[in-house]
Every structure is written in structure tokens, then in C-alpha cells.
């Protein structure tokens, strides 16, 4: 029994590569869909990565009026992502909010996580049933899924267990795709323009997965509330790359 516990403890410490603990060493900022800002397109001076993305939704700058909005605040070692995701009238589809670490695009600024199998997030949420939580990471050479996003990111949805207690969520790297829709944030939907997006998979679909090279060259992290309507509140204590889910995780990993 003692041996087993010790082995497990060693395994999980050896395997985890911390990417973010919200200790203030990296700046985070938030972006809301341009409808909410009252001006279009939204310009994110400190993060050029975001402006082309936010500029495309909604298509018409005439549609204004404060819809999706969120704040991301770092306090006492926790990133608090709070807000509401609303229907964008011009699209009849939910808008989005995102929070992102400051990125450089010039160099990898995180450890090489290519030996890991996925991201692990330690979170608490008072809205665990909100369907639109997503996590994404930028890499030096990630392909972009649309002309609105010149710098690509790999994105994946994640679901939470019910209850407001702290929980550990494992998101396998095979759930991430660079080819996510700028309309839904999902990798399996077809845009109104006719473009079909693709998720990571086997064979031909491997081209949509993060490669070992991508995982060695992370340049930023993002949290999203996208593609679902409603209020959301997510407190994130840490984001790490892990070789296997720790025993505390409580979501089934897709086989």
C-alpha cells in the first residue's frame, strides 16, 4: 500500500510540467466578441494575435449593443474568468469571450511538452453546466483555420463535473485541432461560407493534431467561453502538461 502511494506520488510529480499558476509572472487579458465593445473591429494593442480574429465577428459593424462580455482577473494565484456569452443577432449564434496570456510569436516561452499527453487544469466553477468552455494554446508554427487568424492556435472543448468544488480536468492533446471554426470554435462544424472544419484524428486527420514540434514550441495559453449561451464563471488555479491524468481527475478520458 505504502509503495503504491509513493510510486503514484513520484509518477505524478515527475510527469507534470507546469505552464501557468497565475502567480503574476505572465500577463493575461480578455477579448470579447466585437458586438459587446460598441466599436468594431476590436483592437487588442498588446496582443496582435487577437485583433484579426475578433474583427470577423459579427460581419457588420452596424450591429452594436453590448452582448457577450467577460473579465479575466488574476487574484491570489487564481485566474478568474467571469462573464456571459450571448447570441450575436447578426449570426443567430452564440458569441464568444476569451482570455489569453501575452504571447510573443517569436520564440517558444514554455517548456517542451512533446512527451506529455495532454493538459490538466485545476479549476472551480459555479457554472459547471456551461457548455462553451474551451482551452487553447498558441505555438510558433500552428496553422491558422481562417484568414482572420494569421497566428494559429490549437483548441479543445472541456466539460466540468457538477458541483462547485475544485476539480482536475484532463484534456488530451488529441482533442485539440488547429482547424476550429471561427463561427463556433468547434472543429467539426461547417461555416455558413461552406468551409468544413476538421478535428484531430488518425490517418489523414493527423494533420489537424498538434505535432511533437508544435508541443515543443508553445507560445501562449487561452481560455474561451464560446459557442454556448449563458453566464459562466471559471476559477483556474493551474494549467500543466501531463504524461497521464493524475488520479484526482474526474472526467473520463475519451479512448
Query: Which segment (31-39, 41-49, 76-84, 170-178) binds ligand NAG by CB under 6 A?
Result: 76-84
Q: Smallest distance from the beta carbon of 31 to ligand NAG, in angstroms?
A: 15
The CA distance from 57 to 97, in Å, is 12
Q: Smallest distance from the beta carbon of 32 to ligand NAG, in angstroms?
A: 10
The CA distance from 201 to 23, in Å, is 35
Counts of helices then strands in the chain (DSSP H, E): 4, 13
Q: Smallest distance from the beta carbon of 184 to ligand NAG, in angstroms?
A: 21
Chain positions 113 to 172 lying near ligand NAG, rule: CB under 6 A, are: none
Peptide linkage before 41 cis (omega within 30 of 0): yes
Among 84, 101, 146, 238, binds ligand NAG (CB under 6 A): 84
Interaction of residue 184 with ligand NAG, rule CB under 6 A:
no
In sequence order, the 6+-apart residues with CB closer than 8 A to the CB of 24 are 74
Among 32, 37, 82, 149, binds ligand NAG (CB under 6 A): 82
Q: Smallest distance from the beta carbon of 84 to ligand NAG, in angstroms?
A: 4
Interaction of residue 231 with ligand NAG, rule CB under 6 A:
yes
Cβ(142)–Cβ(154) under 8 Å?
Answer: yes
Q: Smallest distance from the beta carbon of 37 to ligand NAG, in angstroms?
A: 15
The CA distance from 247 to 249, in Å, is 6
Q: Smallest distance from the beta carbon of 233 to ligand NAG, in angstroms?
A: 6
Interaction of residue 229 with ligand NAG, rule CB under 6 A:
no
Among 52, 83, 95, 227, binds ligand NAG (CB under 6 A): 83
Cβ(148)–Cβ(52) under 8 Å?
Answer: yes
**Nearest in space to 97 (alpha carbons), one of 107, 83, 109, 116:** 83
The CA distance from 156 to 135, in Å, is 6
Cβ(54)–Cβ(182) under 8 Å?
Answer: no
The nearer residue to ligand NAG, 60 or 126, going by C-beta atoms, is: 126
| 223: Cα within 13 Å, side-chain hemisphere | 29
The nearer residue to ligand NAG, 48 or 66, going by C-beta atoms, is: 66
Among 71, 75, 104, 126, binds ligand NAG (CB under 6 A): 71
Report the interface residues with ligand NAG, using CB under 6 A: 71, 82-84, 231
Amino acid at each position: 500500500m505504502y509503495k503504491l502511494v509513493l510510486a503514484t506520488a513520484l509518477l505524478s510529480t515527475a510527469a507534470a510540467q507546469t505552464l501557468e499558476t497565475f502567480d503574476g509572472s505572465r500577463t493575461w487579458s480578455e477579448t470579447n466578441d466585437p458586438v459587446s465593445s460598441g466599436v468594431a473591429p476590436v483592437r487588442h494593442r498588446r496582443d496582435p494575435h487577437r485583433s484579426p480574429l475578433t474583427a470577423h465577428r459579427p460581419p457588420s459593424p452596424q450591429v452594436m449593443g453590448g452582448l457577450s462580455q467577460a473579465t479575466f482577473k488574476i487574484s491570489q494565484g487564481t485566474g478568474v474568468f467571469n462573464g456571459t456569452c450571448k447570441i450575436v443577432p447578426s449570426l443567430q449564434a452564440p458569441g464568444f469571450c476569451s482570455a489569453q496570456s501575452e504571447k510573443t510569436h517569436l520564440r517558444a516561452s514554455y517548456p517542451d511538452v512533446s512527451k506529455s499527453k495532454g493538459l490538466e487544469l485545476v479549476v472551480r466553477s459555479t457554472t459547471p453546466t456551461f457548455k462553451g468552455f474551451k482551452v487553447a494554446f498558441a505555438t510558433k508554427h500552428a496553422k491558422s483555420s481562417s484568414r482572420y487568424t494569421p497566428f494559429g492556435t490549437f483548441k479543445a472543448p472541456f466539460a466540468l463535473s457538477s458541483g462547485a468544488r475544485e476539480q482536475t480536468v484532463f484534456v488530451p492533446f488529441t482533442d485539440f485541432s488547429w482547424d476550429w471554426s471561427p463561427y463556433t470554435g468547434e472543429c467539426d462544424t461547417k461555416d455558413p461560407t461552406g468551409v468544413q472544419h476538421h478535428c484531430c484524428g488518425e490517418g489523414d486527420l493527423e494533420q489537424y493534431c498538434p505535432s511533437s514540434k508544435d508541443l515543443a514550441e508553445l507560445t501562449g495559453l487561452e481560455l474561451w467561453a464560446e459557442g454556448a449561451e449563458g453566464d459562466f464563471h471559471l476559477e483556474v488555479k493551474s494549467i500543466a502538461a501531463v504524461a497521464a491524468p493524475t488520479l484526482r481527475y474526474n472526467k473520463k478520458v475519451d479512448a
